[in-house]
Structure 1
Amino acid sequence: MDSKYNISSKNWLQITKAAIKRIKPTPVLPSGNSPKKIKIDDHLKSNSNGVNNKKKEVNGNQAGNDQQNKKAIANKNIQQQRRNLPVFAIRNRLLEEINKRETVIILGETGSGKTTQIPQYIHSARFEGNKKIGITQPRRVAAISLAQRVALECQSEVGQIVGYTVRFEDCTTKSTKLKFMTDGMLLREAMVDKLLLAYSIIVLDEAHERTVHTDVLFGIVKQAQKIRKAKNFPALKIIIMSATMNVDHFSKYFNNAVAIYLEGRTYSVNINYTVKAQEDYVHSCLVTIFQIHKQRPANEDILVFLTGQEEIESVAHSVRLIANEHPASKIPIKVYPLYAGLPSQQQLDAFRPLAPGMRKIILSTNVAETSLTISGIKHVIDTGMVKSRTFHSGTGFEVLRVQRISQEQAWQRAGRAGREFDGFCYRLYTKSEFELFLKSSVPEIQRCNLSNVCLQLLSLGINVVKFDFLDKPSNESLTSALEQLYQLNAITSIQSPELTDLGKQMSLFPLDPRYSKMIISAKNYGCLEEIVSIVALLSCESVFYTPVAKREQANLTRHKYMSTLGDHLSLLTIFRAYNNANEKRKWCKENFLNAKNLNYAKEVRTQLMDICTKCNFEKSSCGKNFDQVRKCLLTGLFMNIAELHGPKQYVTVDTKTPVHIHPSSVLHGTYPHCVVFSEVVMTTKCYLRTITTINPEWLQEIAPSYAKSHRLTTQWTQNGH
């Protein structure tokens, strides 16, 4: 890297400022004249005033009055902010269009106010009647933070008129009318209520993200709308919203639905490109952070887009270290990580404003790309990279790799800088590089393992092959998913699939079908407690924290928890020790373990055990009889077996693919004859990650039909296993 990128150098990363003209579509709204203003949320305001009056009666002292005055001023400011949003001026015309159409597509610029305001306008007009308005978001942090913001604007407590539901957390009541939720949660509701009769309006926000759950929801709500109309049930209105999307494609899919364009954003964003391509985007990111920190005043906060937890933790450490050893400014900084694996409360820490005279630096994955307004953000640093998972049906492998974002994602990221005031976006790539990015991201449904999608659709009685996808996955991917479900005994056949009793039970768990099968099988092996713990740990980010400077010390410290049988049992041993620790955070620090991720795994485990209780599974534990656990792992992962072929070379039994044990595995360098693995990651080689030794003879016992067509060539020769 050239010396001008050196943190201590006076010559910082060269940035070229480009005055980018935003491409605005021809507006449908508003008409020439400003619409007549209407009074919004009268019932909420009168109710709130009533509450305030009661408080004044009870707290008749000066302190109480001062508190009420502060609340009144804060509410006045919030209502003024709402009136300043571009969408406010055209709300009447917008409501007219929504009211007269079954399906509406709304394309609004970032910062126009569509996500927070349109659901409130609809509720103020009482379009939902005696039912709910459901608003979906691709990510839990967005669903929670939006519900909190809208509740504040409505002068209501979260869980009352405005609530949210995310995985393992429900904050709604019978009085909830505006329900924010992740798309996955609405999909699970559809498994119980196929026509979504609890809702009169469904708002599918951030439609451009094209998560697998969102794509499935497109087809489900479209079908529910059609059936409800045919049976003269209460109508279901569908609203699709985004700042960037292929409008023609969506319109055609939703029966030529009208697209409404909302022009205008509250604040502008200046886009900056690098003069030349960057070899090390992480280093360039650090340089840019401290360039901004040196030159800009306090309380101009920075949002940085990175690819994953490990990268975020590493950059956070570097930022703190550089700030302490080479202060570029007297302004104190506070660094916040933000990624999906963080517990909800810690995710929300990033949204709280700091005291005057400080600077907040948020290091985030793409969870902060959409629908989030993070207080104080004026500068966005876009690395142009994202971590993406792609499933290859031919090999059965999911490949996790860091790759370039799409142009759509780049514009979404830039938009985070213009939410509260004019902002700046620093793109760590050249303009010519940007022009080579894909226009839109490849939909997740075309690059993921579809076994869980198929399981969910079959639980709804939907023919998977004939399902009306917005962009249909390949026949090869669908067939591969059905073959996996058939091998797991979840469906009756591949040609005419229907759920078996086992498959119906598996669909109750919000998990990969292989993990669901393991949990259900655990009752037969007397190890439900152990398997649920392992599955919970597999559902979160890595529990290991290994500082680069203390790698050897960390490995030696954790060695006492490592099992010679493999990674799954090592994770189980760590989790047991964590639960027995009195001071958990201190214990995690001493053992180089991630307290956040272990706590999240504990929360997931609690919810999974609740599902087991509802299914009347009897609690059981095998103690230290780990053969039972290993056999149970095999009930779900028998298609994930690799055996040793020659010196230091493994081959997968299912697809005969050469693979290697990942260096992070406790079994790295030991070369057991036969292992079961949770996943494969592909970098320069194919690596098996999270593996456990097994006895080859167990395959015939646990999956006889699979064993018949996939014969093992090695013999079990290791002693003690």
Structure 2
Amino acid sequence: MAAPLSTMKFWKPGSEAPGISEERELTTETTGSPVIFNPHTALSIEKQRQKLPVFKHSSCLFLSHSSCFSLFGCAVPFSSPSFQYLLEAGWAAEGKVIGVTQPRRVAAISVANRVAEERGALLGHEVGYTIRFDDCSDPHATRIKFLTDGMLVREMMADPLLKKYSVLMLDEAHERTLYTDIAIGLLKKIQKKRRDLRLIVASATLDAKKFHEFFNLNESGDPNKDTCGILTVEGRTFPVDVFYTVSPVPDYVKATVETVLKIHETEDDGDVLAFLTGQEEVEKVVSLLQEQARSLSRYGMKKHLRVLPMYSGLPYAEQMKVFERASSTVRKVVVATNIAETSITINGVVFVIDCAFVKLRAYNPRTTIESLVVTPISKASASQRAGRAGRNRPGKCFRLYTEEDFEKLPAATVPEMQRTNLAPVILQLKALGIDNVLRFSFLSPPPAQTMVQALELLYALGGLDQYGRLTDPMGVRMAEFPLSPMFAKMLLESGNFGCSKEIVTIAAMMQIQNIFVVPPNQKKAAAREHRKFAVAEGDHLTMLNVYEAFIKHQKSSQWCQEHFLNYKGLLRAMTVREQLRRLMNKFKVPRTSSEGDPDVILRCIVSGFFANAARIHHSGSYRTLRDDRELHIHPNSVLYGEKPPKWVVFNEVVQTAKYYMRDVTAVESSWLVELAPHFYKQAKHGSLASKRSRVL
């Protein structure tokens, strides 16, 4: 049998001696829409609604004079039968639509499915959803529409006042994603012109006052004239016993495995949810636990372990497995990223293991490089994670850090607006007619340097002129693509380079995570099959190779299985490609083919991704041009372990033990100067140097 948890000790602060003690606190379920579990499904819809905490407050929302509500409390349960309050109150009459934004696609789809099912409606008619590259709604029939906040911003480009909406609810606003904050700023402007639009900002944490102050248009000082109200909804609380470690944990991945096994050996029934930072860690822990589970079975332990991964890039069918109820002889263990912190609710979880870290996007304006960085979570996130154990009954949360370390955590996560590349949103704001983005009403203003750098990048890409104005046609067209400005520029230039057919395929494939499937017990076989698609120039052409082979083999699922490829991901790439192709047709981008010339394709890639360039260093690693940052080729790249090219461009950087470049392709340095003269110059001694673009 697996060894007991000898190195891990948890204790209650203030106890006389370290031991397996506890700190009890009441936690409120504040994390995401209850998109799967509903304990009252046997009841009628009306009875279900009466069970919801918001039921007794519903009249306040619709009879109040306030045009905006900051709704805060439990996992704001508007996300199931309660949406019928809005319909029954007449807010979807005369063709109007009730819109509900979610920060993540998985939540938008799941909640839409749930509400459609409870109303006995076909998804896509009365109830629908819209996410990037997937519109499951009817412009004439849909009355309740779920969409990501990014898609709401994109809808404003066609309908600046959002005239079709009577009510807009920004759910999970406490997450403060980039597009949540942009939507909030834009809705404040719309609110001044559309007093009939009812806004509901739903936050599970104590941000209500901040939202209230931001949206309140009352300047008289008389609170009776406030245009925004605060409604607190009491959540259902269950006690959660929180355990801290006695001493710091040197390896939280190993500690997670040990803690799961300790729970399985010593605790009563109940499923386990363990938080880690990314796919690689999740799969490692799943593999280790599955191996231990087989060992436990051999030693005759009556209750079996069923270990499941959960992360955003996981195929949909695999994600759905975590919601299946475990039998009485099985303990389910879900190993997840922070997607399980807010976007989904997994029924049956009684034990939570919190590693204290999360992977977040961080942007360096000096290098113009955005990277995924592993960083400590906030106290608010720690509370959210603990709350997952108290969803249905009293639970326990094992924090793999000391209480002293907990006290050092920041109160809240830095809003994405203040730590990300702003080029995409600035381009969209410009397209919406907001010329002076520096004076835009941000809920949390971003750093000035980040704003300036985004303007410089857009200027170098040709999206803005020297005065910071949107260029026509390039900037106008770039803003219409649901992709980063770099991808948009690459697509729009592809006709001129003579490779639009190949570039649209590459762009589509780059939107899909995990095209290559690597089963834990078949790693060598998978690697052998994947090498058959590898192209010496790098990952972009390799993805093109995979797609063309998929089409050549009649889009066969059997062929994908034999070659360890993500069949549903490739089908999704086809859908994305078709949507991008339609946009390119709209802008009359010529349909051209490289006719087998790889340099044509690579030069086109450089035209969009020149800012993400790196050169080889004598140490064997790579260096960026702007700040000489050390970078390495990601182990998943086809260039990993091969003779390193002198110059490369890449899609993104991720940080684990090192900074790794993902989606890497070899290029010529001369292409950078030729295709990005605003960004690079040839130094006197023949080497390449960067220069600052200036937007006046």
User: Smaller-chain TM-score range?
Assistant: 0.7 to 0.9
CA distance in 1, matches of 2:373, 2:621: 23
Unpaired runs of 5+ residues, structure 1, are 1-5, 26-72, 230-234, 716-721
What is the aligned partner in structure 1 of residue 9 from structure 2? 14
Q: What is the CA-CA distance between 1:556 and the residue it aligns to?
A: 4.7
Amino acid in structure 2 at the alignment position of 1:640: N
Q: Deviations over 1:555-607 (max 9, x none)?
A: 45433322222222223223333443468555555545555654544443343
Note if 1:487 corresponds to 2:460.
yes
**TM-score normalised by length of structure 2:** 0.85
Amino acid in structure 2 at the alignment position of 1:201: V
2:240 to 256, 266, 269: 269
Provide the secondary structure at the position in 2 that maps to 1:76. coil
Q: Deviations over 1:233-283 (max 9, x none)?
A: xx1111111111333322221127332211231544333333333222222
Q: Deviations over 1:123-163 (max 9, x none)?
A: 22223443111111111111111122223333333233322
2:279 to 296, 302, 309: 309
Note if 1:236 corresponds to 2:160.
no
Structure-to-structure mapping, 1:407-556, within 5 angstroms: 407-463=379-435, 464-493=437-466, 495-545=467-517, 555-556=527-528
1:248 to 199, 209, 215: 209
Q: What is the CA-CA distance between 1:378 and the residue it aligns to?
A: 2.9
The answer to whether the 8 Å contact 1:653/1:712 transfers is no
- Between stretches 118-127 and 204-213, larger displacement belongs to 118-127
Structure 2 CA distance for partners of 1:616 and 1:207, relative to 1, 3 Å: same
Note if 1:138 corresponds to 2:103.
yes
Provide the secondary structure at the position in 2 that maps to 1:523. helix
Structure 2 CA distance for partners of 1:486 and 1:360, relative to 1, 3 Å: same
CA distance in 1, matches of 2:423, 2:390: 40
- Between stretches 510-519 and 602-611, larger displacement belongs to 602-611
CA distance in 2, matches of 1:136, 1:621: 40
What is the aligned partner in structure 1 of residue 89 from structure 2? 125
- Between stretches 582-591 and 393-402, larger displacement belongs to 582-591
Structure 2 CA distance for partners of 1:339 and 1:682, relative to 1, 3 Å: closer
Q: What is the CA-CA distance between 1:95 and the residue it aligns to?
A: 4.2
Structure 2 CA distance for partners of 1:184 and 1:199, relative to 1, 3 Å: same
CA distance in 2, matches of 1:711, 1:663: 36
Structure-to-structure mapping, 1:200-219, within 5 angstroms: 200-219=166-185
Provide the secondary structure at the position in 2 that maps to 1:217. helix
Note if 1:87 corresponds to 2:54.
yes
Provide the secondary structure at the position in 2 that maps to 1:220. helix
Provide the secondary structure at the position in 2 that maps to 1:378. strand
- Between stretches 100-109 and 633-642, larger displacement belongs to 633-642
Structure 2 CA distance for partners of 1:17 and 1:488, relative to 1, 3 Å: same
Tell me the number of residue pairs that the alignment of Structure 1 and Structure 2 aligns: 653
- Between stretches 141-150 and 574-583, larger displacement belongs to 574-583
Amino acid in structure 2 at the alignment position of 1:323: A
CA distance in 1, matches of 2:416, 2:495: 34
- Between stretches 417-426 and 625-634, larger displacement belongs to 417-426
What is the aligned partner in structure 2 of residue 622 from structure 1? 594
Q: What is the CA-CA distance between 1:498 and the residue it aligns to?
A: 2.3
Q: What is the CA-CA distance between 1:618 and the residue it aligns to?
A: 4.1
Structure 2 CA distance for partners of 1:597 and 1:304, relative to 1, 3 Å: farther
Q: What is the CA-CA distance between 1:317 and the residue it aligns to?
A: 2.0
CA distance in 2, matches of 1:322, 1:583: 37
The answer to whether the 8 Å contact 2:97/2:165 transfers is yes
CA distance in 2, matches of 1:594, 1:311: 20
CA distance in 2, matches of 1:209, 1:588: 37
The answer to whether the 8 Å contact 1:517/1:636 transfers is yes
Structure 2 CA distance for partners of 1:226 and 1:508, relative to 1, 3 Å: same
Is the helix fraction higher in 1 or 2?
1
CA distance in 2, matches of 1:17, 1:9: 19
What is the aligned partner in structure 1 of residue 14 from structure 2? none
Structure 2 CA distance for partners of 1:444 and 1:536, relative to 1, 3 Å: same
Q: What is the CA-CA distance between 1:652 and the residue it aligns to?
A: 3.2
The answer to which structure, 1 or 2, has the higher relative contact order (CA under 8 A, 6+ apart) is 2
The CA RMSD measured in Å over matched residues stands at 3.1
Q: What is the CA-CA distance between 1:197 and the residue it aligns to?
A: 0.6
Structure 2 CA distance for partners of 1:666 and 1:363, relative to 1, 3 Å: same
1:185 to 151, 156, 166: 151
Amino acid in structure 2 at the alignment position of 1:113: P
CA distance in 1, matches of 2:320, 2:200: 27
Provide the secondary structure at the position in 2 that maps to 1:86. coil
Unpaired runs of 5+ residues, structure 2, are 11-20, 31-39, 217-225, 689-696
Amino acid in structure 1 at the alignment position of 2:345: T
Amino acid in structure 1 at the alignment position of 2:43: K
Structure 2 CA distance for partners of 1:646 and 1:576, relative to 1, 3 Å: same
Note if 1:397 corresponds to 2:358.
no
Identity of aligned residues (%): 39
The answer to whether the 8 Å contact 1:342/1:600 transfers is no
What is the aligned partner in structure 2 of residue 48 from structure 1? none
Q: What is the CA-CA distance between 1:388 and the residue it aligns to?
A: 0.9
Provide the secondary structure at the position in 2 that maps to 1:516. helix
Q: What is the CA-CA distance between 1:391 and the residue it aligns to?
A: 0.3
CA distance in 1, matches of 2:662, 2:116: 43
Q: Deviations over 1:32-64 (max 9, x none)?
A: xxxxxxxxxxxxxxxxxxxxxxxxxxxxxxxxx
CA distance in 1, matches of 2:266, 2:52: 30
Structure 2 CA distance for partners of 1:258 and 1:583, relative to 1, 3 Å: closer
Q: Deviations over 1:529-565 (max 9, x none)?
A: 2212222232233434557887666545433322222
2:611 to 625, 629, 639: 639
The answer to whether the 8 Å contact 1:643/1:714 transfers is no
Provide the secondary structure at the position in 2 that maps to 1:20. strand
Structure 2 CA distance for partners of 1:165 and 1:343, relative to 1, 3 Å: farther
